[in-house]
Amino acid sequence: MKRFSDTVYDALRSVKLATVLIVLIAVFAVAGGIIPQGRDESFYLHKFPGAPARIILALDLDGIFSGMPFLLLATLFTTNLTVCSFHRFTKELKKPRGNRRHGPDILHIGLLVFIFGGLLTARTRSETLIYLGKGQEARLPEGSSIVLMDLREERYPDGRPKSWESAISIDEKESTIKVNSPLRYKGYTIYQQDWKSAQHAVFEDAAGMRLSLDQGAKAKMAEGSVFFMTIEKGAPTEIGTDEYANAEAVFLLENDSGRKILRARKGDAIGLFTFAGFEEEAISGLKIVRDKGFPLVAAGLALVLLGTFLTYIRKLKGMLA
Amino acid sequence: MISTISFALLLVSLTVQAVYLFRKDGAKDPVSNWLALGAGILLLAEIIRRSVAIRFIALTGMFESLVFLACLVSILVFALRYLRSLRAERAIAFGATALAVVFLALASSPLAPADIKPPVPALQSGWLILHVSFTFIGEVFFAAGFVSAVLQLATRNEEKRKNYDRLAYTSIAIGYPIFTAGALVFGAVWAQKAWGIWWSWDPKETWALITWLTYTAYLHFRLVRKNTSKVMPLLVIAGFLIAMFTFFGVNFLLSGLHSYA
């Protein structure tokens, strides 16, 4: 009579179980592919009004791939894959060397390495988005300094972006980061993620001294302080006019007599200064990623690739014969 | 213009094949595969012409993808007569030619604008070429599997059914590693290089995974069920329909990181 442990082992290494689990994972993926994932509750109430929204929210179908049912299924699949790989690999080793076929073993082990790498990534990956203007500096958590030396933007004649590049100095070594060409440095990877322009409010005093203020920043003046709150864009007066030519800057002025909100256009006086208009500055958005699972995931994918081709190489050879 | 000539060549090829399909002596026509090859070469020339114009491989839009897919299927139609393991009934070449015609018809529809546009920074990567070309080559074999599976379900002749089953399996077994490399491995590597993340459950990624899981289920199902049950051709048909939904449906119905594709 079969021992209980043998029964469990046979069940867990079963190809039938693997097939059922693959189909179930596909069913979950279909649900995740149809229902938008990770949106606000209000999105589902609006998009799927009534009972469907209540069902989606009650069964956590808005976050299928991080929900308990899918994670349990993935755990069972990983267990099945592990036992199946071990069983198959040891069985192959008992065969004469020339008769062994290790393609499926490499493929399955690659999937396991990929899964464990993915878990490590999920637990340890960190991501930070920083925005730097030319000459501005940021620091990595371990102390390295990144300074944005230059930004280069090219556009096609139809106005679509052609290239975004940031020339940076990291610990005084110069490098260029482009979209699709990140920089790896001391365990971090820095990506060219975003590109935008920011408007600064510029003030001039009677002596011609200029003061530039970022949106959301505060400056002290002799008679108090000024906080640059926002920009209210006016309608362009004619086609092709700069959208900021007619805009108003909204400031919060603070002094001994209290607080006051002031809307100013180019040429308006603010205390002893004159508001001289807006100045545009290009800003580079750099994404800084640290991912300890990177080598495992990369190795897992390489093994999956190798294993899949080795498994079906006979068919490929047969096709070309 | 080039794609219109290719379309005409494929239509003539399809007509010639249709005539020979009803001949009982099993004779093969002498021209249809050459017409398909001519269409494939012209479509390849169109891809090269567009690539020269944008100074990048022209595989970045819906029109170009459809032309490339039709080009690959046309070449496969020609090759079907010469590849031993895929040499088959005339009906498979006929079905594949019909698919190439459908792809070109879609390419000429308003769904696929034919403007030549150079790629935005996100698409300027060597990984795009590997990702897209391997995925499509894999899908071309899935198309051959799809036609075989449809014929397998349609025929009542046991010998023919077994032959179609063998052809469907051979097509999937060849397409599967190529699709795995293109859609999943090269796609994940490119995503990591461009966005800093291997996988983000974007609708296109999720549906590519569903395609892969369907064919994975089919290949495992064959290990446990040796006979030619109806479930197997149905899985092959479902896999190809899901692959086509991933290609077309996701682009038009679900927005995500691949919205420009």
Percent of chain B residues topping a pLDDT of 90: 53
Asked if A57 is an interface residue toward chain B (Cβ–Cβ < 8 A), one would say no
**A12/A31 same-domain check:** yes
Q: pLDDT, tens digit, for every residue of B215-235?
A: 999 999 988 876 667 889 999
Instruction: Select the residue of B121, B180, B213 nearest A163 (Cβ to Cβ).
Output: B121
Closest approach of chain A CAs to the CA of B107, in angstroms? 23
Give contacts of A 218-277 with B, CB under 8 A. Answer: none
Give contacts of B 35-54 with A, CB under 8 A. Answer: none
Asked if B129 is an interface residue toward chain A (Cβ–Cβ < 8 A), one would say no
**B257/B130 same-domain check:** yes
ipTM above 0.95, yes or no: no
* pTM confidence score: 0.85
**A152/A169 same-domain check:** yes
Chain A / chain B CB contacts < 8 angstroms? 120
**B167/B52 same-domain check:** no
Selected for mutation to probe chain B from A301, A306, A311, A313 (highest B CB count within 10 Å) is A301
Contact at CB, B181 and A121, closer than 8 angstroms: no
pLDDT for residue A49:
87
- Which pairing describes strands A248-255 and A173-178: parallel, antiparallel, or unpaired? unpaired
Give contacts of B 147-166 with A, CB under 8 A. Answer: none
**B259/B183 same-domain check:** yes
pLDDT for residue A319:
61
pLDDT for residue B29:
82
**A267/A277 same-domain check:** yes
Instruction: Select the residue of A121, A289, A304 nearest B185 (Cβ to Cβ).
Output: A304
Contact at CB, A308 and B210, closer than 8 angstroms: no
Task: Classify residue A78: in a domain, yes or no.
Answer: yes
Q: Count CA atoms closer than 13 A to A152's CA, side-chain side.
A: 12
| Domain encompassing residue A308 | 101-122+292-321
Residues paired with residue A278 on neighbouring β-strands, in sequence order: A201
Residue B56 neighbours by CB under 8 Å, 6+ apart: B118, B119, B123, B124
pLDDT for residue B256:
58
Residue A7 neighbours by CB under 8 Å, 6+ apart: none
| Domain encompassing residue B167 | 122-261
B69 touches B139 (CB < 8 A): yes
The string of DSSP codes covering A10-79 is HHHT-HHHHHHHHHHHHHHHHHHHHSPPS--HHHHHHHSTTHHHHHHHHTTGGGGGGSHHHHHHHHHHHH
Closest approach of chain A CAs to the CA of B4, in angstroms? 27
Closest approach of chain A CAs to the CA of B28, in angstroms? 21
**B231/B158 same-domain check:** yes
Task: Classify residue A92: in a domain, yes or no.
Answer: no
How far is C-alpha B243 from the chain's CA centre? Answer: 9
Instruction: Select the residue of A118, A127, A161 nearest B120 (Cβ to Cβ).
Output: A161
Task: Classify residue A89: in a domain, yes or no.
Answer: no
**A142/A191 same-domain check:** yes
**B84/B63 same-domain check:** yes
Contact at CB, B224 and A15, closer than 8 angstroms: yes
**A80/A2 same-domain check:** yes
**B171/B244 same-domain check:** yes
Give contacts of B 227-256 with A, CB under 8 A. Answer: 254
**B130/B241 same-domain check:** yes
pLDDT for residue A1:
65
B29 touches B16 (CB < 8 A): yes
**A173/A217 same-domain check:** no
Indicate the pLDDT class of residue B153, thresholds 50, 70 and 90.
very high
**B67/B143 same-domain check:** no
Contact at CB, A25 and B188, closer than 8 angstroms: no
Q: pLDDT, tens digit, for every residue of A235-266?
A: 555 554 566 667 888 988 888 888 888 888 88
Separation between Cα atoms, residue B97 and residue A134, nearest integer Å? 56
3-state secondary structure of A289: strand
Asked if A23 is an interface residue toward chain B (Cβ–Cβ < 8 A), one would say yes
**A192/A203 same-domain check:** no
**A174/A250 same-domain check:** no
For B171, which residue in chain A has the nearest alpha carbon?
Answer: A315
Asked if B110 is an interface residue toward chain A (Cβ–Cβ < 8 A), one would say no
Q: How many domains does chain B have?
A: 2
Q: Which of B148, B135, B254 is nearest to B202 (CA)?
A: B254
**B24/B109 same-domain check:** yes
**A222/A175 same-domain check:** no
**B69/B166 same-domain check:** no
DSSP E strand boundaries for chain A: 126-133, 137-139, 145-155, 161-170, 173-178, 183-185, 188-204, 210-213, 218-221, 224-232, 248-255, 258-264, 269-270, 273-290
Q: pLDDT, tens digit, for every residue of B158-195?
A: 888 888 898 899 899 999 999 999 999 999 999 999 98
Q: Which of B95, B109, B62 is nearest to B244 (CA)?
A: B62
Q: Identify the domain boundary among B83, B114, B145.
A: B114
Asked if A175 is an interface residue toward chain B (Cβ–Cβ < 8 A), one would say no
A287 touches A128 (CB < 8 A): yes
Q: How many domains does chain A have?
A: 4
**B68/B14 same-domain check:** yes
**A159/A229 same-domain check:** no
Burial level of A225, CB count in 10 A (0-12/13-18/19+)? middle
Which one has a higher pLDDT value, B245 or B3?
Answer: B245
Q: Which of A106, A89, A27, A22 is nearest to B177 (CA)?
A: A106
Q: Identify the domain boundary among A24, A56, A84.
A: A84
- Which pairing describes strands A188-204 and A210-213: parallel, antiparallel, or unpaired? antiparallel
Q: Identify the domain boundary among B60, B89, B114.
A: B114
Asked if A27 is an interface residue toward chain B (Cβ–Cβ < 8 A), one would say no
**A75/A115 same-domain check:** no
Closest approach of chain A CAs to the CA of B48, in angstroms? 21
Contact at CB, A318 and B189, closer than 8 angstroms: no
**A79/A16 same-domain check:** yes
Contact at CB, A287 and B122, closer than 8 angstroms: no
Instruction: Select the residue of A118, A156, A319 nearest B85 (Cβ to Cβ).
Output: A319
Contact at CB, A23 and B203, closer than 8 angstroms: no
Task: Classify residue A95: in a domain, yes or no.
Answer: no
The string of DSSP codes covering B34-90 is HHHHHHHHHHHHHHHHHHHHHTS-S-SSHHHHHHHHHHHHHHHHHHTTT-GGG---H
Closest approach of chain A CAs to the CA of B221, in angstroms? 6
Percent of chain B residues topping a pLDDT of 70: 93
Contact at CB, B213 and A182, closer than 8 angstroms: no
Q: Identify the domain boundary among B62, B84, B114.
A: B114
Kind plus residue range of the DSSP H or E element containing A91: helix A68-93
**What DSSP designation does A94 have?**
T
Asked if B185 is an interface residue toward chain A (Cβ–Cβ < 8 A), one would say yes
pLDDT tens, residue order, chain A (321 aa): 678 888 888 888 999 999 999 999 999 999 988 888 888 888 889 888 888 888 888 888 888 888 888 999 999 999 999 999 999 999 999 988 888 888 999 999 999 999 999 999 989 999 999 999 888 899 888 888 999 999 998 899 888 889 889 999 998 899 999 999 999 998 899 999 988 888 888 888 888 888 888 888 888 877 788 898 888 876 555 554 566 667 888 988 888 888 888 888 888 888 788 888 888 888 899 999 999 999 999 999 999 999 999 998 877 776 655
Give contacts of A 177-216 with B, CB under 8 A. Answer: 178-182, 189, 191-193
Contact at CB, B121 and A164, closer than 8 angstroms: yes
Give contacts of A 152-171 with B, CB under 8 A. Answer: 156, 158, 160-164
Residues in A touching B181 (Cβ below 8 Å): 305, 308-309
Contact at CB, A180 and B176, closer than 8 angstroms: no
Give contacts of B 47-106 with A, CB under 8 A. Answer: 83-86
Instruction: Select the residue of A26, A156, A320 nearest B214 (Cβ to Cβ).
Output: A26
Which one has a higher pLDDT value, B239 or A41?
Answer: B239
Indicate the pLDDT class of residue B84, thresholds 50, 70 and 90.
low
Q: Is the pLDDT of residue B80 over 90?
A: no
B53 touches B46 (CB < 8 A): no
**B95/B160 same-domain check:** no
CA dihedral B164, B166, B167, B168 (to 10 degrees): 80
Task: Classify residue A275: in a domain, yes or no.
Answer: yes
Indicate the pLDDT class of residue B127, thresholds 50, 70 and 90.
very high
